[in-house]
Amino acid sequence: MLLGLDPGGTPVGGRRVAVTGIGVVSCCGTGAGEFFEGLLAPAPSGERRVVDFDGSAYFGPKEVRRVDRFAQFSVAAAQMALDDAGELGVDPARAGVVMGTGVGGFETLQTQVTVFNDQGPRRVSPFLVPMMMANAGAATVSMRVGWHGPCETLVTACAAGTHAIAAAGRLVASGRVDVAIGGGAEAAMTPVGIAAFTNMTALSATGMSRPFDARRDGFVIAEGAAVLVLEELEHARARGATLYAELLGAASTADAHHITAPSPGGEGAAACMELALADAGLAPSEIGHINAHGTSTPLNDLAEAQAINKVFGAPGPPVTSVKGVTGHALGAAGAIEAVATVISIERSLIPPTAGYEVADPEIHLDVVHGGPRHWDPAPALSNSFGFGGHNGCLVFAPAPSSQLAP
């Protein structure tokens, strides 16, 4: 257990990790407050793009043209989270950045392939490689904040944001750093990207995201980014930081089954949830809420529901999928949903699963729908499951009530 606590509340195999800053860029709102209000509102219609995003607010008018949209999102979310966290007073050598993405600078790649085909090789931008590389988001963030600790990128499809937060948390828990940024970013809504997902029949033909609903027919692609500032608990207390939540545990497993389909019965997902609970030192009965991966695809929602029932019984804790509103932001989805989970804990409110109206007789879950649900905050699980069989789970808990008491 690298992040968990023993029954007495003392660290088990690592230091305690607090969430002290939140940043998010999404189609339903930018910034923690606007984002969460968007989750409580009706789902937007049509594409789930981040409209009116101005990258020049974070980069100069010349520099912004040399930074792919996904990296612009990365910097925007990270800056919001750092501003929210306040003065960290951290040694730059003991601060790190871990970001996740599914495809990195896909927009730049498509644009420059078109340039190559239409205008020839000499017209291809010399900035193509640094703009398209998947690590550009994390690298740009680290350069902007001047942190010299680990700067890493995880590329595990739709589990990338979750895995990045887990990796950042372990850097803090292990003592390698005192503060780390963990999150994910994606901007892959290009004509080629959309055509690819459409032709593999992954996207909803109706343009509706209906997680766990009997009528679900695929996901609605989205873009965005989210970042959490993760800080060693005593470091955060010493500077009087706001404590939003505590990261208690995390886990990662592989289905080793199929490049896109989940393992039968959600076996890999169930194993990941069980390991995350073990890492946190919790029993299934102590989980009060699950923020599901809930993509709105027939196979994945069923497999996740079966996995939840295997671990928690039926119907299990209250479940929501914010993808009914946000759509599926691929490598950023897990980070966006981790932010939703943390705010749900902070505000004692679980957002509803937009689009859920008709129960699937094969799915036996307590799906929060029709409106938000008030709850007494308790440890919560955030799930992400990606193409390639990548599974990731995070366990968050309410922050310690006192700046001094454990």
pLDDT < 70 stretches in the chain: 1-13, 401-406
pLDDT digits (tens, 9 = 90+) for 69-80: 999 999 999 999
Active-site residue, selected from the candidate residues 163, 235, 289, 293: 293
Nearest in space to 369 (alpha carbons), one of 353, 391, 386: 353
Residue 308 structure tokens: 């939840």
pLDDT digits (tens, 9 = 90+) for 364-399: 999 999 999 999 999 999 999 999 999 999 999 999
Q: Which amino acid makes up residue 368?
A: V
Cβ atoms of residues 138 and 335 within 8 Å: no
The predicted structure's pLDDT at residue 5: 43
| Residue 135 Cα distances to 93, 97, 105, 125, 131, angstroms | 19, 11, 9, 18, 9
Active-site residue, selected from the candidate residues 28, 151, 158, 272: 158
Count of CB atoms situated within 10 Å of the CB of 392? 32
The predicted structure's pLDDT at residue 1: 36
The predicted structure's pLDDT at residue 271: 97
Active-site residue, selected from the candidate residues 235, 289, 328, 390: 328
pLDDT digits (tens, 9 = 90+) for 198-215: 999 999 999 999 999 999
Q: Which domain covers residue 37, as residue numbers?
A: 17-398
**Count of domains forming the chain:** 1
Is residue 10 in some structural domain?
A: no
Is residue 68 in some structural domain?
A: yes
Q: Answer yes or no: 257 catalytic.
A: no
Q: What b/e string do you get for 268-280 counting C-beta neighbours within 10 Å, with b at 16 or more?
A: bbbbbbbbbbebb
The predicted structure's pLDDT at residue 18: 98
Q: Answer yes or no: 328 catalytic.
A: yes
Is residue 114 in some structural domain?
A: yes
The DSSP bridge pattern shows strands 224-232 and 179-186 to be antiparallel
Q: Is 115 helix (H, G, I), strand (E, B) or coil?
A: helix
Per the DSSP assignment, residues forming a β-bridge with 196 are none
Range 344-347 contact pairs with CB under 8 angstroms and sequence separation of 24 or more: 344/289, 344/291, 344/375, 344/377, 344/380, 345/244, 345/245, 345/377, 345/380, 345/396, 345/397, 345/398, 346/244, 346/245, 346/377, 346/399, 347/36
Q: Answer yes or no: 374 catalytic.
A: no
Q: Is 295 helix (H, G, I), strand (E, B) or coil?
A: coil
The predicted structure's pLDDT at residue 13: 52
Cβ atoms of residues 237 and 357 within 8 Å: no
Is residue 312 in some structural domain?
A: yes
Cβ atoms of residues 15 and 27 within 8 Å: no
Is residue 301 in some structural domain?
A: yes
Reading phi first (left if > 0) and then psi (alpha if -120 to 50, else beta), residue 284 is in alpha
H or E stretch including 249? Answer: strand 245-254
Q: Which amino acid makes up residue 233?
A: L
Length of the chain: 406
Is residue 279 in some structural domain?
A: yes
pTM tops 0.85: yes
Q: Is 178 helix (H, G, I), strand (E, B) or coil?
A: coil
The predicted structure's pLDDT at residue 137: 98
Is residue 132 in some structural domain?
A: yes
Give me the CATH number covering residue 110. Answer: 3.40.47.10
Q: Is 218 helix (H, G, I), strand (E, B) or coil?
A: coil
Is residue 356 in some structural domain?
A: yes
